[in-house]
Structure 1
């Protein structure tokens, strides 16, 4: 059990001193029948990194949106440096010294890095000065990025750096980071946390770190506040707790933190499609289920994103793909999704060549995809749950060529029940669901047609420990039912725990492949950097 912080309800220090940088008291926000924040108290103090934990939908994002002026509270008060304030919009928040780096990027892709950083500045634009400032900040915080490159040509890891630089340029006294390492390598994450510690101790800022990675919270923060169902259920000094206690406080029950243990779980409700059914090819067979040969994809400047890529996946196995972001993972997923046509190469399923030049051909052949960014290519937030289910198979809701809403909703209700999706019903808009439930919608849609192959790209990105546990169990159950799972992830622990084989992708080629019992973090890390494993 974590030891609570002594002092005020807000979790601040008991001894007298300067007021907190931000003091929140009894803040409440209600959306219809849902109380997103319920009388929340929290203090954000200078010189501290304050971790905020909670399941998807616990109220963390709503609280932070209130602090940066995107949402007005229905009740409660906020003080900044002891002064009562009303944060009516993001401009007011910035003027008060509160800045936030969001998990989902808000960059203008056709513009360059320095142009994105300069957006929103009220002063006259000085290109040279902005470029110099970008360079200074990138070096100071270990976020190296080329100022003149267009954002659309940057991999996700680089785009995250741009977001961080954009926020830091405004010199906030309170810096809120929402999942800042979700697309960073372990080495980049370590440099970022070292920089944040410097910011806190030498520049006397207050930093809020929202992360689902318990190891990051334990490593980087000074104290932790845990939210559940809109309320704060616990807060403690980081030194007085551990991962198991934090996870238990987040979800209200014990959670399997060992992903290999979760992956081998066979009890509980079976919600994976086809689990336990016999399929044509089982892992005992030697013939590959999916074979990729000589796949080549060129980037925007002619550089090869995939360079004569060869890959084989067998039924019933989870084949993990490791690699630093931007080494061809995105191009591979786009080809297997039918979103792009390769320059050369072939994809075979059960020995049959698949058409790569017709949208939908790969999906119709039995390849399902969980994309790395559910908001970008996985779901449509403005559409309902039922409508999003139809995206993979539009004919599912039709009868005699006419859309039957009753039939559509009935099928949606079955999937909602089967996959345990927490929503108000089939007509609930996707934006009203938590991130974990949005990911369940994607999983339900992609696997409801009993695919032969599931391509899972960063399937646990941005999910809380409970949702990660669920996704891990489902991936293993799918493999046990005979589905071949191609798991692409930046989470090396996840890859090592779940995968039967692990390969490393570097500059568009497989540079190393090993069985799980031969794999280790040091060897994989060396290959990811281009070394010899």
Structure 2
């Protein structure tokens, strides 16, 4: 790579040996182990990646993928193991060493400064004087070379998410790395933008013989974009496959450790193709004839943030009793603001919210809950639960009246209610007195869902309900959300995972820049059209 380690041991290879010897892998990790306390993040991991290929690193959240790549980029030091670059052993003590070896990484969350121009972000961190003309020219040249067109003079805050991804790629590619690592690069991209990204990666590997490692938990992404794939589970490598020789079911089985259904493969591990086929078969299904009650109606909602920037721009939607409305969109287009609105955390500048036909005052503490709206927020740690309180106390938050005796909480009632909900919602916990932070992410999410459903809501808002969960917890959440709708609850599903939307929703609304830009039923779904709407294009 850029600063290749010496592999000369003083021996002289014969011409015949040189002619027949296979080239050393661009990157080879052997016996990599990393522990954080009692948690083994990487367990004797071996990874071999050839020059000129796109290599997929597949696994669920917590499988060890990101930790392994942080070791390769010098952000984390391994406890043991060996790193080889182009056949020579290296020690990567920090990111500067990694950069010197030609290793560059685009992280899942962008590291851009919104109010600065593109060229300023690309050259941020450069020592000495940065010449504006040279910086602008650099952005244009790298963009033209790799098909990453972006205006160097535009402020980053004015760019689309896909354009911001291009800026991150230009930041990495301008250093001409030999190895480019991308961590969940399509998590904030539309389908069209994702395909454009894969085209760029193909050009990088095939035309310039560079190496790409693509970290993902999405099966379709791996199958469409990579040459080889390594699958990790619970910190260990469990399989290696040539991508052309495998399929969704095999990858899902290796990733999860058991057989999964087609719809589970779609919603839990990102197999979009399986869902599209099932949707196609569902188009012949009989539509619901009866007109159901509108439980939630949001009309012409306008709202601004503390900095007076618009969050919602005339958003309108309805959700009927017994229906799951999926709100699809690229992250950062008003989903969080809508969740805050329906949690009584955001006031409207204009517009109305009605629950069961009655207007509810937005922003008034507790008003939405009192009207019958239950909310599973997108960040369970920040606004879904209190980690330092007990499981029983967290379960009681939505309905203190049931566990109170007069003006005081009854420990007996508190415990009795908690034990009932622990059993009903299959929460894995030693008892109701355990501190919330000691539960797994999946069980914490079960607690939040149990609390909201126990309050018998008319409307249930679930935002990013499976984010950060393993497949077992995802399956459970999916089943519970479906059962809630079957019981007559109106469900608003807010998710950036298109697979999750297609699995659960009866009807889909697309949000872009704080407004609904299109709707379709599940039977009408056209994935390409849906992707265009998510990107703000008329379809």
TM-score normalised by length of structure 1: 0.77
Q: Which runs of 5 or more residues in structure 1 are unaligned?
A: 1-14, 264-281
* CA 1:448–1:386: 2 relative to 1, 3 Å: farther
* CA 1:455–1:231: 2 relative to 1, 3 Å: same
Cα-to-partner distance string for 1:260-304 (whole Å, 9 max, x where unaligned): 9989xxxxxxxxxxxxxxxxxx99773311111221235899886
Name the residue aligned to 1:517: 523
Answer yes or no: is the 8 Å Cα contact 1:321–1:505 preserved in 2. yes
Name the residue aligned to 2:282: none
SS at match of 2:217: coil
- Of 478, 484, 487, 2:490 maps to 484
Larger Cα-atom Rg: 2
- Of 198, 203, 211, 1:206 maps to 211
Instruction: State the Cα distance separating 1:243 from its structure 2 match.
Output: 0.7
The alignment status of 1:296 with 2:302, answered yes or no, reads: yes
The whole-number CA distance in structure 1 between the counterparts of 2:479 and 2:26 is 42
Instruction: State the Cα distance separating 1:145 from its structure 2 match.
Output: 4.7
Name the residue aligned to 1:18: 23
Instruction: State the Cα distance separating 1:341 from its structure 2 match.
Output: 2.3
The alignment status of 1:27 with 2:27, answered yes or no, reads: no
Counting only pairs closer than 5 Å after superposition, residues 317-336 of structure 1 correspond to structure 2 as 317-323=323-329, 328-336=334-342
Answer yes or no: is the 8 Å Cα contact 2:394–2:447 preserved in 1. no
* CA 1:360–1:156: 2 relative to 1, 3 Å: farther
The whole-number CA distance in structure 2 between the counterparts of 1:133 and 1:412 is 63
SS at match of 1:119: coil
Out of 71-80 and 188-197, give the one that drifted further: 71-80
The whole-number CA distance in structure 1 between the counterparts of 2:58 and 2:187 is 15
Counting only pairs closer than 5 Å after superposition, residues 125-204 of structure 1 correspond to structure 2 as 125-148=130-153, 151=156, 156-204=161-209
Instruction: State the Cα distance separating 1:463 from its structure 2 match.
Output: 6.0
Out of 73-82 and 476-485, give the one that drifted further: 476-485
The whole-number CA distance in structure 2 between the counterparts of 1:142 and 1:379 is 42
Instruction: State the Cα distance separating 1:57 from its structure 2 match.
Output: 1.7
- Of 81, 86, 90, 2:91 maps to 86
Answer yes or no: is the 8 Å Cα contact 1:283–1:315 preserved in 2. no
* CA 1:481–1:230: 2 relative to 1, 3 Å: same
Answer yes or no: is the 8 Å Cα contact 1:259–1:472 preserved in 2. no
Cα-to-partner distance string for 1:148-179 (whole Å, 9 max, x where unaligned): 55555656555444433333333322211111
SS at match of 1:289: strand
The whole-number CA distance in structure 2 between the counterparts of 1:445 and 1:129 is 58
The alignment status of 1:247 with 2:257, answered yes or no, reads: no
SS at match of 2:342: helix
Counting only pairs closer than 5 Å after superposition, residues 39-50 of structure 1 correspond to structure 2 as 39-50=44-55
Answer yes or no: is the 8 Å Cα contact 2:266–2:500 preserved in 1. no
* CA 1:448–1:503: 2 relative to 1, 3 Å: same
* CA 1:455–1:61: 2 relative to 1, 3 Å: same
Name the residue aligned to 1:4: none
Name the residue aligned to 1:269: none
How many residues align structurally? 496
SS at match of 2:352: strand
TM-score normalised by length of structure 2: 0.76
The whole-number CA distance in structure 2 between the counterparts of 1:341 and 1:479 is 28
Cα-to-partner distance string for 1:113-154 (whole Å, 9 max, x where unaligned): 444433333454334433443344445545555545555565
* CA 1:393–1:420: 2 relative to 1, 3 Å: closer
